[in-house]
Amino acid sequence: MLVFKFGGASVKDAAGVANLAHVVQKYAHEQLLIVVSAMGKTTNALEKLAKAYFNHADDVHELYEEVKQYHYTIMHQLFEDGHPVFDEVNNTFVEIDWMLEDEPVDTYDFIYDQLVSVGELLSTRIVNAYLAQTGLNSKWLDVRGYIHTDNTYREGTVDWDKTSANIQAEIPGMLSKNIVVTQGFLGGTSENFTTTLGREGSDYTASIFAACLQAQSVTTWKDVPGVLNADPKIFQDTVKFDELSYTEAMEMTYYGATVIHPKTIKPLQNAGIPLLVKPFGNPDAPGTRICETANQQFAKAIIIIKQNQVLVSVSSKDHSFISENILSKVYQLFAQNQVKINLLQTSALSLSVCFDLVEERFEKLLSQLNQEFNVKYNSALELITLRHYEPEVLKQLTEGKKVLLEQTSRNTAQVVVAIN
């Protein structure tokens, strides 16, 4: 059996949904499980809604209406009036209606997961209905009953034993009769609350199902021809990799390459399942194959740029050395606040850490750090990472920019720069 994952860009409009059906038709003879992300920029829109609701902003209902109209517009282009999918989508929106009727009393992370998760529920209802309309036997599946997580909202940790048992007990029987359509990015707790697996986590969802079902392969359909050495929106003359090893792909995602979610590779590597990254606009193109025995070539450096970075420098208030005890305290605070470290460097008296800015988490972290340490920070930074780099390439990328921190090894260079 095969697992397909379609990202938001591939279903951003009615034409995208129709193209998805065209791709799926090519594999209609296979047992096929399809994981679908929220449509277009819906996750971003629902994030704005969650923040507005949590902060009692005046534009909550305006933001909500924009999300609804976006989906209704796509549906009216795909279905005749009176199609059952309209009731299904209306009932899905009720999950948001119920929340917005009450004042926010829960944590922001909890509210985020309950609201933002609706994007995938909507997209899969629409995709499933359209596949059925084209004559395919398609079954909608609520992933929250199969991927089980703890209560770490916005970064749910998967209970692999429970998840694997549920998937293996029920999904094979469904696949023998239907194409199964389910949501990426989502999980469920033992209390039946919704969790998310981390931003852009639909790739991870696909790899979870594939590992549990011992799939032949996972294909993630993208708006790029495969895995490239750099972001084509930023750089010209990018190079596509025909093959990559699991190890190289994991390194790239760890450093911030967004074409694949960082957690995707490990379950596939453990099960020996290849990951294919292919263009949804040209489904017959070879794309990139990620596997254990890849024949990979690095004619150009891999360039990864992470924006919206913060660089924090911590020192002891009594001018003590940065000892293992201090490192342990700082790491613990980062872990407690779910702030992931992208780059770390120590000196005798200070510790510098670069990470993604998530405002509500950073504010809590900063408050706690200030209680024990002297803290300085810079924001609105970029983290440039080069794999298999040459010094000349690093020089070109940092030319004219203020370098705040630089770290190099045999294969990798990382530089934190101010962009203003």
Tens-place pLDDT, residues 61-106:
999 999 999 999 999 999 999 999 999 999 999 999 999 999 999 9
- What confidence score (pLDDT) does residue 45 get? 98
Average of per-residue pLDDT across 392-414? 94
Average of per-residue pLDDT across 158-164? 98
Domains, the chain: 2-291 (3.40.1160.10), 302-418 (3.30.2130.10)
Mean pLDDT taken over the chain: 95
pLDDT-derived band of residue 201, with 50, 70 and 90 as boundaries?
confident
The 3-state DSSP class for residue 370 equals helix
Q: In whole angstroms, how large is the CA radius of gyration of the chain?
A: 22
344's enclosing H/E stretch is strand 341-346
- What confidence score (pLDDT) does residue 136 get? 97
Alpha-helix runs per DSSP H in 140-234: 160-175, 202-213
Q: Does the pLDDT at position 420 exceed 80? A: no
The separation between the first and the last C-alpha atoms of the chain, rounded to the nearest angstrom, is: 50
Average of per-residue pLDDT across 273-283? 96
Phi, psi torsion values for 99, nearest 5 degrees:
-70, -45
- What confidence score (pLDDT) does residue 296 get? 86
pLDDT-derived band of residue 299, with 50, 70 and 90 as boundaries?
confident
Who contacts 388 (Cβ-Cβ below 8 Å, separation ≥6)?
A: 298, 301, 302, 411
- What confidence score (pLDDT) does residue 294 get? 87
- What confidence score (pLDDT) does residue 127 get? 98
Whether residue 75 contacts residue 86, with contact meaning beta carbons closer than 8 Å, is answered with yes
The model's pLDDT over 212-234, given as tens digits with 9 standing for 90+, comes to 999 999 999 999 999 999 999 99
The model's pLDDT over 343-354, given as tens digits with 9 standing for 90+, comes to 999 999 999 999
